[in-house]
Structure 1
């Protein structure tokens, strides 16, 4: 029990951004996509590899939350999700519902604080652009709970922040992020309904979908080529990369759930291919081209540092925590 309490303490410290040393964990798959490397981004902007291991599938997607990975097997006939706990080096295999050929999926892994449990939210949707003149079928949601090893279907009915009427017929853009952002006990993503774009979040405790309004007219005059939700210095943030002006707009929600509390910081950022995440110290991790490279970028000083990461194809980032779940068959 003392060892488990230590793991929970480490989680709490990192969530409060009190760890000034190894506060950021990088997950770097190699080109073969079956070997996985974890490394820590240190406060002196260096990388320290902490583990390298084989995963059991050629994954199509990977996510991380509070000490636990999950991998999605990209083989169409399998539909398998793997939990991986690097602290104890144990896997758990989960059978997921089969998908139709044109279905797209949003995944989210969440930690349930009250029950010391993990949940996967899986939303299956049909992209609107595939058949513009055909009304798309409604999105479907499923929840997997680790402690019960079971799936359940849930109805997507979003409680509106502007009135008692729920938001129905929710759709998702396939060009946006393919995963939810876990923050404040909920999973967040960008959704739309009848031309209305908003942040949809799923409360892990009561399992309800709710709405957070995006910054008013935040895209006026912009030509964005990507939008991302993230956690920046302990706040929910919206990252908008602008194509024409090479500017990155960082919107931060100072008071969670209050639309009037959005504030913006704009920084010049050229030739960005991909936004990867933030460090504990508020640096952006990004990928650029000409040549292709991964960098840390400080939004205040505008200083860049190239991160030497050999032999990887893609990268996923999150904060470093430890967990002992998956022990004794859990």
Structure 2
């Protein structure tokens, strides 16, 4: 009785049987069908390419015209097979084929493929593809675990924003990109005003709620290409690629307005969110190190806090001091 392999119990597996040489593969087709596979057949290269692209097979068996990876046949096939797509494959060379040529087909890193000589045992072919599919599952699981671990390394666990380490790395990358290409770069630094009082008068848990609320405001206020980050206790940053200083000030004002409409409540405790923000920009000249851009934004932030908190200030490189929009402070 057919027993589905793990991961395929919810639907029949789909096999692309690409018989370009017109071999007698009826027994192979029937053997896979008896094992619960849906077999999608093609004997023409153009049809095979469409089948791989449109029918979403789980695996493929190929009886090719050639074993040369530089031919049009394999150029079209490899676009739909492992490692380009998650479709393991089994190749069936003709009896006098130069088997050493298979090395060129299997050479790309990550290729999940195998070969069998004709005549083919359906049981052996199904077992070989089953092994490749299980290996593919293990590789996918390992990649998922690696991605999860990488996410933990670059993510602040309280807010879900980028952490300080990731922010510093991206600041260096974007600073260098701006220096090379001249695309403007904006940087916003912000503090949650009176954060210590929230912790002291309410609780650390309530303070964490406030931090998470700021995180949500930042994510909603910026584009997908921007990098919002928590870089300290109550300290946040937003890196804005391809953004002028004036545009960055506009983003900061949008963040400030969103915070002004927000309130954190838990049990008997409630507090309005108040932020101070400092903004700086880089156009590719005038600064030598990312740290200089950070210091300019930090000077503007300090000026915002000195001038009463709950404000946006920006660094004016022409006057070497922090300013509010339209008026010197």
- On whether the aligned pair clears a TM of 0.5, the verdict is no
Higher strand residue share:
1
Normalising by the residue count of structure 2, what TM-score does the alignment of the two structures yield? Answer: 0.24
Normalising by the residue count of structure 1, what TM-score does the alignment of the two structures yield? Answer: 0.24
Higher helix residue share:
2
